[in-house]
Structure 1
């Protein structure tokens, strides 16, 4: 189904914005041959585009009251009542249809705005600079990953990918890496002598003690985005588990192409859902009417990326985690996959590209992820309005986090000082 997206933007502000950025773009590239090069790369990205499949996910077990990394969340694909062999999915290009149309109008017709779509100029500026310097950034990432090899730590992965890929794709390069990392390198650990960028750390914790909580590895903050952010989860590299036990609900096709994503699905799905509710809260607090309720999250490894999207209003969960999408055309040559660049660029700037499902799809699949049903059954739905960013959460310590003494239960029962209280 084709998506119909509506932009609620004042015409005057759009005209002023476009006028100002046209001058900026013209001034930036008028004497720079890179203008031709980056538009050629963008055209090549469209002509060789490989789409991303987003499948509908249903949560079957929640594990509320735990951190993202400890939750025993369970999930499955969405079933079709009349044919359980059907796998339901939609395309990334369908969800971001207006964004793709805007890019095509610009590349092929040199038009920034039509009655059907417009191409946001702040994200376009960021993309143009990145594509102009693409080979330099590819080499920096390649040399960095080769320098540290397979033993690279997660903070090094986060620093390299944040500084030389993700922050480059948002206007203003603003980001914040979780300050829980140990050690915390002060400057980018890449091998580029001209880099030496300071690494920005901060408090990224979010959630609710009775639902899910913890700290995204990185938060990207597009400049002047009115509170819009994108959480990111970095993984050094995902290892496939041998002799995995699959749910009976898993379709044979899903087992065949089961991705490495399965080993971290619980933590990233719970994080994506929690962040979407948080995004709703921050918009309401600031009096902003969101143009979309479909909020994306991004997961990256040195080689792969995954996109999760949760519609907090209609309770619809989408994930590309059924297959490993490669960041690179060839991991040996370290040439970045231009389809991946388009996907990541639009996700990071989703405030401008406004991802949406077709209204008919939303109507048919409302509450399909089952999160609202579970929350309502536990009288927790109102608590989602209290999801916030904070340093710590009030919660019971998990058994595996206890650092105190351990006593044999028989010795405890014989203790004359227990005063009849056996446990709590």
Structure 2
């Protein structure tokens, strides 16, 4: 922070809060997927529908609406915390507990230096845009790695709890940040999952210390260079939407009775974003289940994945405890009417999501039957592989062995055994079996 303990926290934090009411999460149900197969995230097949509520009343004979959850409902603890900090000076926050003090300090520091971060992001984004537009016989593809580094170094990483992250070490054109700061990010192994089911490498994994002595994985992010939000939603018919009946007042979001304003939900946006979102959904599910496996005592297991581009971002949440899948509407990263300036609402939203362990209350159900309406159906679709998802997932994996027809193939041993008597015996037995 800047000098002056009597200075109040940055006003941008509190001006953004009322506008976050437009952020809503659709409840999704998975209809079909290849979760039982050995598939990398890039080859994930995961078809889903927005859950719809169907209700018949005397006054309204027939009502159908999508099941949404307010951001302020899920992150009520965080919203309450920001409101509590209104009017606080930097001296006042010394009375907060350690994690709260660190969190609000990170956010305030970012707003104090937001201009420098905007310049860095804009410089890299513009550089890559110009590279894409240039033609020398063929188009030059922008470097996703350069943009990922910029987003990690000058936005997400600066807002994360430990301000610590790892970028996938297998990324193409690895190097330092191209904004001019010359910072070289931390590259490493970001593989999660299991070779017999969904698995692969995450673009960015954020870690923090919290109460642990060592770094612990906290949150993940997936970069997508062409994520787009179209103003014209696609046509959706009753046959493409999941409908669930409910009794009056049961199982609905206590603070929301309308479809999402201010943005379109994941399946309502034109373009190829639905395909990339299938990857984001798979990553969110696997990471959440991994966190539950490693940290069963978390207060709740509503774990996020941030899908982000240079223009928009979207939050996918999976609750590994209750098998609930949520996805937010698209949100602008920069102010629409002020080109090049980061949206304060985006900054606060990302900060809250990255600090979900402090600020995400999760969904609280008064009746056990309410949970069933929100379930994503993933556990059922995982079938006999569910035990792998709940007990055998791995993290920080540099590479996964190949699995074919449910038989694990150790490529190193296979190469070593070639030409040996053991290998010949295996071939012979196979030939005999085919006779």
TM-score by length of 1: 0.76
Alignment CA distance shift 1:118-1:341 (3 Å): same
The secondary structure found in structure 2 opposite 1:78 is strand
How far 1:108 sits from its partner (Å)? 4.1
Contact 2:159 2:354 (C-alpha < 8 Å) held by counterparts: yes
Q: How does 1:109-148 map to 2 (within 5 A)?
A: 120-148=100-128
* Structure 1 partner of 2:282: 270
* Structure 1 partner of 2:366: 360
* Structure 1 partner of 2:189: 203
How far 1:393 sits from its partner (Å)? 2.4
Contact 1:291 1:354 (C-alpha < 8 Å) held by counterparts: no
- Residues 94-121 of structure 1: per-residue CA shift (max 9 Å, x gap): 1000111111111146676999x99811
How far 1:235 sits from its partner (Å)? 0.8
Alignment CA distance shift 1:309-1:255 (3 Å): closer
* Structure 1 partner of 2:224: 235
Contact 2:26 2:265 (C-alpha < 8 Å) held by counterparts: no
Q: How does 1:240-389 map to 2 (within 5 A)?
A: 248-250=239-241, 257-258=268-269, 260=271, 261-284=273-296, 289-320=297-328, 323-330=329-336, 333-360=339-366, 364-366=370-372, 368-375=375-382, 378-384=383-389, 385-389=391-395
* Structure 2 partner of 1:58: 29
Q: Determine the C-alpha separation between the residues in 2 that align with 1:76 and 1:255.
A: 10
Q: How does 1:87-236 map to 2 (within 5 A)?
A: 87-108=66-87, 120-149=100-129, 151=132, 152-185=142-175, 187-190=176-179, 192=180, 195-224=181-210, 226=212, 227-236=216-225
TM-score by length of 2: 0.74
* Structure 1 partner of 2:247: none
How far 1:421 sits from its partner (Å)? 9.2
The secondary structure found in structure 1 opposite 2:202 is coil
Alignment CA distance shift 1:99-1:259 (3 Å): farther
The secondary structure found in structure 2 opposite 1:125 is helix
Greater RCO structure (CA 8 Å; 6+ sep):
2
- Residues 146-192 of structure 1: per-residue CA shift (max 9 Å, x gap): 1221622210110010000011112442100001111111x1111x3
Contact 1:105 1:112 (C-alpha < 8 Å) held by counterparts: no
Alignment CA distance shift 1:358-1:32 (3 Å): same
The secondary structure found in structure 2 opposite 1:85 is strand
How far 1:330 sits from its partner (Å)? 2.8
- Structure 1 unaligned residues grouped into runs of 5+: 1-27, 399-417
How far 1:344 sits from its partner (Å)? 0.6
How far 1:40 sits from its partner (Å)? 1.6
Alignment CA distance shift 1:201-1:331 (3 Å): farther
* Structure 1 partner of 2:398: 391
Q: Determine the C-alpha separation between the residues in 2 that align with 1:184 and 1:96.
A: 36
How far 1:46 sits from its partner (Å)? 2.4
- Structure 2 unaligned residues grouped into runs of 5+: 56-61, 133-141, 243-258, 406-429
How far 1:208 sits from its partner (Å)? 1.6
Contact 1:45 1:339 (C-alpha < 8 Å) held by counterparts: yes
Aligned residue pair count = 361
Contact 2:168 2:203 (C-alpha < 8 Å) held by counterparts: yes
How far 1:225 sits from its partner (Å)? 5.8
Q: Determine the C-alpha separation between the residues in 2 that align with 1:129 and 1:305.
A: 22
Contact 1:137 1:165 (C-alpha < 8 Å) held by counterparts: yes
Q: Determine the C-alpha separation between the residues in 1 that align with 2:24 and 2:229.
A: 21
